[in-house]
């Protein structure tokens, strides 16, 4: 399951920054090395590819535990500390499920440019609509996408294939056996409300 869900709720063990003694560890707090925070930021904002060649967004908690060599409680504490500090920079710590692991990454709160051209994003908008329309199947058929975009002369077949490959390359969609699915980067960058609005726009503008 690739559905992301937010974990930006304040941790009960983390005192608010303006409370007295906020910087002093209490008896309940695990002993953590806060110099690990910059390393954590580096790991969560690194871009890399897995063995299958898919773009990976952030890092799985399991690997964070292995590489930082800390206890799970300490990692949770560090992540919540990071979430508090990231919020001041307009960033948000998110976690999501992927391939049986919980992954963490940082996203922008107020939007910003991404790596796609306008036309690529238009195709992504249409795919979002078709996937939502498919209900529980949660995928769009390639034939349907082709029929709309190529059949109605929005794009040529070559342009469509290039754009789909680019979306696949950047981790927005997954193509397999004549179907297109939304990959975790799309569900991370576009929440439920945004996807609903995009689907409505796609219906009005393209269909």
Partner 1 sequence: MASRKRPEPADDAQVLSRLWEIAHKYQRSLQRGDVVPLGEAEGDRRAVAPFGERLHTTTERNLDGITYRSLAEMQVRRDTRRLLSNLPGSLRLRRLGFEVAVRARPVVFMHGSGPLRALGLLASVNYQTEQVETLPEAAALLHELDESEHRVAMRDVDEAELERQRGEVKQRLVGRRFARGELAGSLSSSEADLLSQLSRRGEVAVVVRGDGSVEIRHGGARRRAGRTVAVAIKPRRTSRRDG
The residues that touch partner 1, with contacts defined as CB under 8 A, are 41-43, 45-49, 53, 55, 57-58, 91-92, 105-126, 128, 149, 152-155, 162, 165-166, 168-170, 185, 188-191, 194, 197-198, 201-207
Q: In sequence order, what are the beta bridge partners of 4?
A: 96
Q: How far is the CB of 74 from partner 1 (least distance, A)?
A: 22
Tokens of 159: 């342009």
Note whether 181 and 164 are within 8 A (CB). no
Residue 76: name the closest of 61, 63, 66, 86 by CA.
Answer: 61
Nearer to partner 1, 13 or 92 (CB): 92
Nearer to partner 1, 141 or 201 (CB): 201
Nearer to partner 1, 70 or 128 (CB): 128
Q: How far is the CB of 195 from partner 1 (least distance, A)?
A: 8
Q: How far is the CB of 158 from partner 1 (least distance, A)?
A: 11
Nearer to partner 1, 73 or 197 (CB): 197
Q: In sequence order, what are the beta bridge partners of 101?
A: 98
Neighbours of 113 (CB within 10 A): 6
Q: How far is the CB of 17 from partner 1 (least distance, A)?
A: 22
Max CA distance (Å), the chain: 66
Note whether 116 and 167 are within 8 A (CB). yes
Residue 131: name the closest of 87, 167, 96 by CA.
Answer: 167
Nearer to partner 1, 16 or 204 (CB): 204
Note whether 94 and 188 are within 8 A (CB). yes
SS3 91: strand
Q: How far is the CB of 56 from partner 1 (least distance, A)?
A: 10
């Amino acid at each position: 399951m690739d559905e992301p869900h937010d974990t930006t709720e304040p941790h009960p063990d983390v005192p608010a920054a303006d409370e007295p003694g906020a910087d002093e560890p209490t008896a309940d707090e695990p002993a953590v090395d806060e110099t690990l925070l910059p390393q954590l930021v580096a790991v969560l904002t690194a871009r890399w590819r897995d063995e299958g060649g898919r773009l990976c967004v952030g890092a799985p908690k399991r690997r964070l535990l292995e590489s930082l060599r800390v206890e799970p409680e300490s990692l949770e504490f560090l992540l919540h500390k990071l979430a508090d500090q990231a919020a001041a920079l307009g960033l948000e710590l998110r976690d999501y499920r992927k391939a049986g692991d919980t992954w963490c990454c940082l996203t922008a709160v107020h939007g910003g440019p991404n790596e796609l051209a306008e036309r690529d994003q238009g195709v992504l908008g249409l795919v979002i609509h078709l996937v939502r329309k498919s209900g529980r199947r949660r995928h769009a058929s390639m034939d349907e996408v082709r029929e709309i975009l190529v059949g109605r002369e929005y794009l040529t077949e070559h342009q469509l294939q290039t754009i789909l490959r680019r979306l696949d390359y950047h981790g927005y969609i997954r193509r397999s056996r004549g179907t297109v699915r939304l990959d975790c980067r799309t569900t991370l960058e576009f929440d439920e409300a945004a996807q609903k609005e995009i689907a409505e726009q796609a219906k009005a503008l393209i269909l």
